Structure 1
Protein backbone atom coordinates (compact mmCIF):
# COMPACT_ATOMS: atom_id res chain seq x y z
CA UNK A 1 0.00 0.00 0.00
CA UNK A 2 1.35 3.40 -0.93
CA UNK A 3 2.23 5.92 1.77
CA UNK A 4 -0.72 8.06 2.80
CA UNK A 5 -0.49 11.83 3.37
CA UNK A 6 -0.70 13.25 6.89
CA UNK A 7 -4.24 14.60 7.18
CA UNK A 8 -5.77 16.08 10.34
CA UNK A 9 -9.48 15.67 11.04
CA UNK A 10 -11.29 18.48 12.88
CA UNK A 11 -14.95 19.29 13.37
CA UNK A 12 -15.78 22.40 15.42
CA UNK A 13 -13.67 25.20 16.92
CA UNK A 14 -15.36 27.34 19.57
CA UNK A 15 -15.57 27.95 23.30
CA UNK A 16 -17.62 25.26 25.01
CA UNK A 17 -18.84 23.97 28.36
CA UNK A 18 -19.75 20.40 27.42
CA UNK A 19 -18.60 18.22 24.54
CA UNK A 20 -19.44 14.53 25.12
CA UNK A 21 -18.48 13.55 21.57
CA UNK A 22 -15.11 15.37 21.65
CA UNK A 23 -15.70 17.17 18.37
CA UNK A 24 -14.89 20.67 19.67
CA UNK A 25 -11.51 22.34 20.00
CA UNK A 26 -11.25 25.62 21.88
CA UNK A 27 -9.97 28.62 19.89
CA UNK A 28 -6.89 28.95 22.09
CA UNK A 29 -6.00 25.28 21.68
CA UNK A 30 -6.58 25.49 17.92
CA UNK A 31 -4.31 28.51 17.68
CA UNK A 32 -1.62 26.55 19.53
CA UNK A 33 -2.00 23.59 17.20
CA UNK A 34 -1.52 25.81 14.17
CA UNK A 35 1.54 27.38 15.80
CA UNK A 36 2.94 23.87 16.37
CA UNK A 37 2.56 23.05 12.70
CA UNK A 38 4.13 26.33 11.60
CA UNK A 39 6.94 25.95 14.12
CA UNK A 40 7.90 22.61 12.59
CA UNK A 41 7.99 24.14 9.13
CA UNK A 42 4.72 22.47 8.15
CA UNK A 43 1.98 24.16 6.13
CA UNK A 44 -1.69 23.33 6.49
CA UNK A 45 -3.44 23.03 3.13
CA UNK A 46 -6.71 21.87 1.64
CA UNK A 47 -6.99 18.31 0.39
CA UNK A 48 -7.15 19.45 -3.20
CA UNK A 49 -3.91 21.39 -2.84
CA UNK A 50 -2.23 18.54 -0.98
CA UNK A 51 -3.15 15.90 -3.56
CA UNK A 52 -2.15 18.08 -6.49
CA UNK A 53 1.22 18.67 -4.83
CA UNK A 54 1.69 14.96 -4.21
CA UNK A 55 0.95 14.21 -7.86
CA UNK A 56 3.88 16.42 -8.88
CA UNK A 57 6.22 15.36 -6.07
CA UNK A 58 6.01 18.72 -4.29
CA UNK A 59 4.13 17.81 -1.11
CA UNK A 60 7.05 17.92 1.32
CA UNK A 61 6.06 19.85 4.45
CA UNK A 62 2.34 19.93 3.59
CA UNK A 63 -0.34 18.70 5.99
CA UNK A 64 -3.98 18.26 5.01
CA UNK A 65 -6.46 20.11 7.22
CA UNK A 66 -10.08 18.92 7.10
CA UNK A 67 -13.21 20.04 8.95
CA UNK A 68 -16.27 17.80 8.95
CA UNK A 69 -19.92 18.92 9.04
CA UNK A 70 -19.52 22.58 8.07
CA UNK A 71 -20.21 24.25 11.41
CA UNK A 72 -20.83 27.98 11.47
CA UNK A 73 -17.74 28.46 13.64
CA UNK A 74 -15.64 27.52 10.60
CA UNK A 75 -16.19 31.10 9.41
CA UNK A 76 -15.95 32.81 12.76
CA UNK A 77 -13.03 30.93 14.32
CA UNK A 78 -11.29 28.63 11.86
CA UNK A 79 -10.84 30.74 8.72
CA UNK A 80 -9.34 33.80 10.49
CA UNK A 81 -6.87 31.56 12.37
CA UNK A 82 -5.87 29.76 9.18
CA UNK A 83 -5.38 32.97 7.24
CA UNK A 84 -3.06 34.34 9.92
CA UNK A 85 -0.69 31.50 9.05
CA UNK A 86 -1.49 31.59 5.32
CA UNK A 87 -2.96 28.10 5.66
CA UNK A 88 -5.97 26.70 3.84
CA UNK A 89 -8.29 23.78 4.60
CA UNK A 90 -11.14 21.67 3.25
CA UNK A 91 -14.54 21.87 4.89
CA UNK A 92 -16.96 19.03 4.16
CA UNK A 93 -20.54 20.32 4.24
CA UNK A 94 -23.98 18.69 4.22
CA UNK A 95 -25.91 19.80 1.15
CA UNK A 96 -29.31 19.01 2.64
CA UNK A 97 -28.75 20.60 6.05
CA UNK A 98 -27.22 24.00 5.21
CA UNK A 99 -28.26 26.56 7.81
CA UNK A 100 -29.51 23.81 10.12
CA UNK A 101 -28.03 22.11 13.16
CA UNK A 102 -26.20 18.88 14.04
CA UNK A 103 -29.38 16.90 14.63
CA UNK A 104 -27.48 13.59 14.28
CA UNK A 105 -25.59 14.21 17.55
CA UNK A 106 -28.39 13.31 19.95
CA UNK A 107 -27.44 14.21 23.50
CA UNK A 108 -24.77 16.69 22.51
CA UNK A 109 -24.80 20.48 22.31
CA UNK A 110 -26.63 22.02 19.35
CA UNK A 111 -24.23 23.52 16.82
CA UNK A 112 -25.34 25.66 13.92
CA UNK A 113 -24.20 24.76 10.40
CA UNK A 114 -23.13 27.25 7.77
CA UNK A 115 -25.85 28.31 5.37
CA UNK A 116 -25.33 28.55 1.60
CA UNK A 117 -24.02 32.10 1.83
CA UNK A 118 -21.55 31.09 4.51
CA UNK A 119 -20.25 28.21 2.41
CA UNK A 120 -19.76 30.56 -0.53
CA UNK A 121 -17.93 33.04 1.75
CA UNK A 122 -15.58 30.28 2.92
CA UNK A 123 -14.84 29.38 -0.71
CA UNK A 124 -14.12 33.01 -1.59
CA UNK A 125 -11.54 33.10 1.21
CA UNK A 126 -9.61 30.26 -0.37
CA UNK A 127 -11.08 27.27 1.43
CA UNK A 128 -11.98 24.11 -0.44
CA UNK A 129 -15.59 22.92 -0.19
CA UNK A 130 -16.27 19.19 -0.22
CA UNK A 131 -19.38 17.08 0.30
CA UNK A 132 -20.12 15.26 3.54
CA UNK A 133 -23.28 13.82 1.95
CA UNK A 134 -26.75 15.35 1.97
CA UNK A 135 -27.97 14.42 5.44
CA UNK A 136 -25.17 12.84 7.50
CA UNK A 137 -26.55 9.31 7.22
CA UNK A 138 -24.49 6.15 7.55
CA UNK A 139 -24.10 5.14 3.91
CA UNK A 140 -23.61 1.34 4.16
CA UNK A 141 -27.18 0.90 5.44
CA UNK A 142 -28.83 2.78 2.57
CA UNK A 143 -30.45 1.46 -0.58
CA UNK A 144 -29.03 2.31 -3.98
CA UNK A 145 -31.35 5.26 -4.65
CA UNK A 146 -30.68 6.75 -1.20
CA UNK A 147 -26.95 6.27 -1.68
CA UNK A 148 -27.08 8.19 -4.97
CA UNK A 149 -28.96 11.01 -3.22
CA UNK A 150 -26.34 11.26 -0.50
CA UNK A 151 -23.35 11.04 -2.84
CA UNK A 152 -24.11 12.13 -6.40
CA UNK A 153 -27.03 14.51 -5.79
CA UNK A 154 -25.13 16.19 -2.95
CA UNK A 155 -22.26 16.88 -5.34
CA UNK A 156 -24.60 18.38 -7.95
CA UNK A 157 -26.36 20.60 -5.39
CA UNK A 158 -23.10 22.01 -4.06
CA UNK A 159 -21.64 22.57 -7.51
CA UNK A 160 -24.75 24.44 -8.57
CA UNK A 161 -24.58 26.55 -5.41
CA UNK A 162 -20.88 27.35 -5.76
CA UNK A 163 -20.60 27.54 -9.53
CA UNK A 164 -17.50 25.42 -9.24
CA UNK A 165 -16.46 21.79 -9.17
CA UNK A 166 -16.68 19.81 -5.92
CA UNK A 167 -13.86 17.26 -6.01
CA UNK A 168 -13.86 15.75 -2.52
CA UNK A 169 -16.20 13.61 -0.44
CA UNK A 170 -16.10 12.62 3.23
CA UNK A 171 -17.93 9.52 4.55
CA UNK A 172 -20.29 10.32 7.46
CA UNK A 173 -19.10 8.65 10.67
CA UNK A 174 -16.22 7.20 8.63
CA UNK A 175 -18.52 4.32 7.64
CA UNK A 176 -17.43 2.95 4.28
CA UNK A 177 -17.37 -0.34 2.38
CA UNK A 178 -16.32 -1.11 -1.15
CA UNK A 179 -19.81 -0.26 -2.39
CA UNK A 180 -19.57 3.31 -1.12
CA UNK A 181 -16.07 3.76 -2.52
CA UNK A 182 -17.39 2.70 -5.94
CA UNK A 183 -20.37 5.07 -5.65
CA UNK A 184 -18.15 8.01 -4.77
CA UNK A 185 -15.73 7.26 -7.60
CA UNK A 186 -18.59 6.80 -10.09
CA UNK A 187 -20.11 10.13 -9.01
CA UNK A 188 -16.97 11.88 -10.25
CA UNK A 189 -15.19 12.77 -7.00
CA UNK A 190 -11.41 12.92 -7.34
CA UNK A 191 -10.81 11.78 -3.76
CA UNK A 192 -12.62 10.88 -0.55
CA UNK A 193 -11.73 10.97 3.13
CA UNK A 194 -12.43 8.20 5.59
CA UNK A 195 -11.20 8.05 9.18
CA UNK A 196 -9.51 4.75 9.91
CA UNK A 197 -6.83 2.84 8.11
CA UNK A 198 -8.31 -0.23 6.36
CA UNK A 199 -7.96 -2.50 3.36
CA UNK A 200 -9.84 0.21 1.43
CA UNK A 201 -7.27 2.91 2.21
CA UNK A 202 -6.36 4.82 -0.93
CA UNK A 203 -7.38 7.82 -2.97
CA UNK A 204 -11.11 7.31 -2.30
CA UNK A 205 -10.73 6.26 1.34
CA UNK A 206 -7.93 8.42 2.75
CA UNK A 207 -7.29 7.80 6.46
CA UNK A 208 -7.06 10.81 8.73
CA UNK A 209 -5.73 11.62 12.20
CA UNK A 210 -8.28 12.86 14.72
CA UNK A 211 -7.40 16.09 16.54
CA UNK A 212 -9.20 17.15 19.72
CA UNK A 213 -8.98 19.69 22.49
CA UNK A 214 -6.54 17.54 24.49
CA UNK A 215 -3.95 17.60 21.72
CA UNK A 216 -1.16 19.90 22.73
CA UNK A 217 2.37 19.89 21.37
CA UNK A 218 3.41 16.52 22.85
CA UNK A 219 0.32 14.68 21.65
CA UNK A 220 0.53 16.25 18.18
CA UNK A 221 4.17 15.23 17.91
CA UNK A 222 3.26 11.67 18.92
CA UNK A 223 0.54 11.54 16.26
CA UNK A 224 2.92 12.92 13.66
CA UNK A 225 5.57 10.33 14.52
CA UNK A 226 2.99 7.51 14.59
CA UNK A 227 1.91 8.46 11.09
CA UNK A 228 5.48 8.45 9.83
CA UNK A 229 6.14 5.02 11.35
CA UNK A 230 2.87 3.57 10.04
CA UNK A 231 3.19 4.90 6.51
CA UNK A 232 6.94 5.21 6.11
CA UNK A 233 6.83 8.96 5.49
Structure 2
Protein backbone atom coordinates (compact mmCIF):
# COMPACT_ATOMS: atom_id res chain seq x y z
CA UNK A 1 0.00 0.00 0.00
CA UNK A 2 1.16 3.54 -0.75
CA UNK A 3 0.50 4.46 2.88
CA UNK A 4 3.60 2.51 3.88
CA UNK A 5 5.92 4.32 1.48
CA UNK A 6 8.37 7.01 2.63
CA UNK A 7 6.74 10.43 2.61
CA UNK A 8 8.54 11.69 -0.49
CA UNK A 9 7.35 8.63 -2.41
CA UNK A 10 3.83 9.11 -1.06
CA UNK A 11 3.79 12.61 -2.55
CA UNK A 12 4.77 11.16 -5.93
CA UNK A 13 2.03 8.55 -5.55
CA UNK A 14 -0.44 11.27 -4.56
CA UNK A 15 0.24 13.27 -7.70
CA UNK A 16 -0.05 10.12 -9.79
CA UNK A 17 -3.44 9.27 -8.25
CA UNK A 18 -4.82 12.80 -8.47
CA UNK A 19 -3.72 13.09 -12.08
CA UNK A 20 -6.19 10.32 -12.93
CA UNK A 21 -8.99 12.82 -12.21
CA UNK A 22 -9.15 15.02 -15.31
CA UNK A 23 -11.76 17.32 -13.75
CA UNK A 24 -9.46 17.95 -10.81
CA UNK A 25 -6.55 18.78 -13.11
CA UNK A 26 -8.74 21.30 -14.91
CA UNK A 27 -9.87 22.84 -11.61
CA UNK A 28 -6.25 23.23 -10.55
CA UNK A 29 -5.28 24.87 -13.84
CA UNK A 30 -8.24 27.24 -13.92
CA UNK A 31 -7.81 28.21 -10.26
CA UNK A 32 -4.16 29.00 -10.87
CA UNK A 33 -5.22 31.37 -13.64
CA UNK A 34 -7.41 33.29 -11.15
CA UNK A 35 -4.27 34.16 -9.11
CA UNK A 36 -6.09 34.06 -5.79
CA UNK A 37 -3.95 34.73 -2.71
CA UNK A 38 -2.99 31.65 -0.69
CA UNK A 39 -5.25 29.34 -2.67
CA UNK A 40 -5.59 25.57 -2.50
CA UNK A 41 -7.88 23.01 -4.01
CA UNK A 42 -8.76 20.99 -0.94
CA UNK A 43 -10.99 18.54 0.91
CA UNK A 44 -13.07 15.74 -0.59
CA UNK A 45 -12.11 16.07 -4.23
CA UNK A 46 -8.53 15.18 -3.25
CA UNK A 47 -8.80 12.34 -0.76
CA UNK A 48 -11.86 10.88 -2.47
CA UNK A 49 -9.96 10.74 -5.77
CA UNK A 50 -7.27 8.74 -3.96
CA UNK A 51 -9.91 6.47 -2.40
CA UNK A 52 -11.35 5.83 -5.86
CA UNK A 53 -7.97 5.01 -7.37
CA UNK A 54 -7.02 2.73 -4.47
CA UNK A 55 -10.34 0.84 -4.63
CA UNK A 56 -10.51 0.60 -8.42
CA UNK A 57 -13.40 2.99 -8.93
CA UNK A 58 -13.60 5.70 -11.61
CA UNK A 59 -11.53 8.66 -10.34
CA UNK A 60 -14.50 11.05 -10.07
CA UNK A 61 -16.91 8.56 -8.48
CA UNK A 62 -18.89 9.97 -5.54
CA UNK A 63 -17.21 13.40 -5.59
CA UNK A 64 -19.92 15.98 -4.95
CA UNK A 65 -17.93 19.17 -5.50
CA UNK A 66 -14.49 20.72 -5.71
CA UNK A 67 -13.51 23.11 -2.91
CA UNK A 68 -11.17 26.04 -3.46
CA UNK A 69 -9.88 27.98 -0.45
CA UNK A 70 -8.13 31.32 -0.68
CA UNK A 71 -7.12 33.84 1.96
CA UNK A 72 -7.59 37.59 1.64
CA UNK A 73 -7.97 39.57 4.86
CA UNK A 74 -7.63 42.97 3.15
CA UNK A 75 -11.41 43.21 2.70
CA UNK A 76 -13.73 41.05 4.81
CA UNK A 77 -16.94 42.24 3.20
CA UNK A 78 -19.29 39.76 1.56
CA UNK A 79 -19.23 41.95 -1.53
CA UNK A 80 -15.49 41.40 -2.01
CA UNK A 81 -15.84 37.64 -1.68
CA UNK A 82 -18.84 37.62 -3.98
CA UNK A 83 -16.83 39.34 -6.70
CA UNK A 84 -14.31 36.50 -6.52
CA UNK A 85 -17.09 33.89 -6.57
CA UNK A 86 -18.63 35.54 -9.62
CA UNK A 87 -15.28 35.58 -11.43
CA UNK A 88 -14.74 31.95 -10.50
CA UNK A 89 -18.16 30.99 -11.82
CA UNK A 90 -17.12 32.24 -15.23
CA UNK A 91 -13.69 30.60 -14.97
CA UNK A 92 -15.17 27.18 -14.20
CA UNK A 93 -18.01 27.36 -16.73
CA UNK A 94 -18.38 24.19 -18.73
CA UNK A 95 -16.83 21.87 -16.17
CA UNK A 96 -18.95 18.80 -15.32
CA UNK A 97 -18.67 19.58 -11.60
CA UNK A 98 -19.58 22.17 -9.00
CA UNK A 99 -16.65 24.28 -7.80
CA UNK A 100 -17.08 26.16 -4.51
CA UNK A 101 -14.72 29.06 -3.84
CA UNK A 102 -14.49 30.59 -0.37
CA UNK A 103 -12.37 33.23 1.36
CA UNK A 104 -11.14 31.57 4.56
CA UNK A 105 -10.40 34.98 6.12
CA UNK A 106 -14.18 35.43 6.49
CA UNK A 107 -15.13 32.03 7.96
CA UNK A 108 -15.27 33.28 11.56
CA UNK A 109 -18.03 35.71 10.53
CA UNK A 110 -20.54 32.94 9.72
CA UNK A 111 -19.23 29.66 11.20
CA UNK A 112 -20.93 29.85 14.60
CA UNK A 113 -24.33 30.55 13.11
CA UNK A 114 -24.03 27.51 10.83
CA UNK A 115 -22.34 25.00 13.16
CA UNK A 116 -23.08 26.25 16.68
CA UNK A 117 -19.48 26.75 17.80
CA UNK A 118 -17.28 29.82 17.52
CA UNK A 119 -14.41 29.83 15.04
CA UNK A 120 -11.39 32.01 15.79
CA UNK A 121 -10.26 34.03 12.76
CA UNK A 122 -7.93 32.02 10.55
CA UNK A 123 -4.53 33.45 9.69
CA UNK A 124 -4.09 31.50 6.45
CA UNK A 125 -5.68 28.95 4.18
CA UNK A 126 -3.45 26.34 5.80
CA UNK A 127 -4.98 27.14 9.20
CA UNK A 128 -8.43 26.56 7.74
CA UNK A 129 -7.39 23.20 6.31
CA UNK A 130 -6.02 22.28 9.75
CA UNK A 131 -9.52 22.51 11.22
CA UNK A 132 -11.33 19.92 9.07
CA UNK A 133 -13.36 17.41 11.09
CA UNK A 134 -11.06 14.51 10.12
CA UNK A 135 -7.29 14.64 9.90
CA UNK A 136 -7.56 12.60 6.71
CA UNK A 137 -9.30 15.57 5.11
CA UNK A 138 -6.48 17.98 5.95
CA UNK A 139 -4.99 18.10 2.50
CA UNK A 140 -4.49 20.89 -0.01
CA UNK A 141 -2.87 21.15 -3.44
CA UNK A 142 -2.10 24.10 -5.66
CA UNK A 143 -0.09 24.83 -8.78
CA UNK A 144 2.79 27.20 -8.34
CA UNK A 145 3.59 29.72 -11.12
CA UNK A 146 6.44 27.50 -12.32
CA UNK A 147 4.09 24.51 -12.62
CA UNK A 148 5.22 22.70 -9.47
CA UNK A 149 2.61 21.16 -7.22
CA UNK A 150 2.51 22.52 -3.68
CA UNK A 151 1.10 19.88 -1.33
CA UNK A 152 -0.06 20.78 2.17
CA UNK A 153 -0.63 17.68 4.32
CA UNK A 154 -0.09 18.47 8.04
CA UNK A 155 -1.01 14.93 9.11
CA UNK A 156 0.81 13.14 6.32
CA UNK A 157 -0.74 10.93 3.65
CA UNK A 158 -0.74 7.44 5.14
CA UNK A 159 -4.37 7.57 6.30
CA UNK A 160 -5.46 8.88 2.90
CA UNK A 161 -3.92 5.92 1.07
CA UNK A 162 -4.96 3.42 3.75
CA UNK A 163 -8.61 4.61 3.71
CA UNK A 164 -8.57 5.53 7.40
CA UNK A 165 -10.77 8.31 8.77
CA UNK A 166 -9.36 9.81 11.95
CA UNK A 167 -11.27 12.51 13.91
CA UNK A 168 -9.76 15.95 14.33
CA UNK A 169 -11.61 17.50 17.31
CA UNK A 170 -10.08 20.97 17.15
CA UNK A 171 -13.10 22.92 15.90
CA UNK A 172 -15.88 21.06 14.10
CA UNK A 173 -18.37 19.38 16.44
CA UNK A 174 -18.72 15.61 16.66
CA UNK A 175 -21.99 15.73 14.71
CA UNK A 176 -20.19 17.13 11.65
CA UNK A 177 -17.66 14.30 11.71
CA UNK A 178 -20.26 11.58 12.15
CA UNK A 179 -22.56 12.99 9.47
CA UNK A 180 -19.72 13.08 6.96
CA UNK A 181 -18.55 9.61 7.96
CA UNK A 182 -22.03 8.14 7.43
CA UNK A 183 -22.28 9.67 3.97
CA UNK A 184 -18.79 8.61 2.91
CA UNK A 185 -19.18 5.03 4.11
CA UNK A 186 -22.19 4.63 1.84
CA UNK A 187 -19.95 5.38 -1.14
CA UNK A 188 -16.72 3.80 0.16
CA UNK A 189 -17.62 0.93 2.54
CA UNK A 190 -13.95 -0.10 2.64
CA UNK A 191 -13.18 2.85 4.94
CA UNK A 192 -11.84 2.24 8.42
CA UNK A 193 -13.48 4.80 10.69
CA UNK A 194 -12.02 5.76 14.05
CA UNK A 195 -14.56 7.07 16.58
CA UNK A 196 -14.74 10.55 18.01
CA UNK A 197 -12.82 10.63 21.29
CA UNK A 198 -14.82 10.38 24.49
CA UNK A 199 -15.02 13.58 26.58
CA UNK A 200 -12.58 12.25 29.18
CA UNK A 201 -10.07 11.31 26.51
CA UNK A 202 -10.68 7.56 26.97
CA UNK A 203 -11.39 5.66 23.77
CA UNK A 204 -15.05 4.82 23.31
CA UNK A 205 -14.62 1.04 22.99
CA UNK A 206 -18.27 0.45 22.19
CA UNK A 207 -17.99 2.81 19.27
CA UNK A 208 -14.81 1.09 18.10
CA UNK A 209 -16.58 -2.28 18.16
CA UNK A 210 -19.56 -0.81 16.32
CA UNK A 211 -17.45 0.69 13.59
CA UNK A 212 -15.41 -2.49 13.33
CA UNK A 213 -18.50 -4.66 12.98
CA UNK A 214 -19.95 -2.40 10.28
CA UNK A 215 -16.62 -2.37 8.46
CA UNK A 216 -16.53 -6.18 8.55
CA UNK A 217 -20.11 -6.43 7.33
CA UNK A 218 -19.36 -4.06 4.46
CA UNK A 219 -16.54 -6.30 3.32
**Smaller-chain TM-score range?**
0.3 to 0.5
What TM-score results when the alignment is normalised by the length of structure 2?
0.32
Q: Which has the higher helix share?
A: 2
What TM-score results when the alignment is normalised by the length of structure 1?
0.31
Structure possessing the higher radius of gyration over alpha carbons: 2
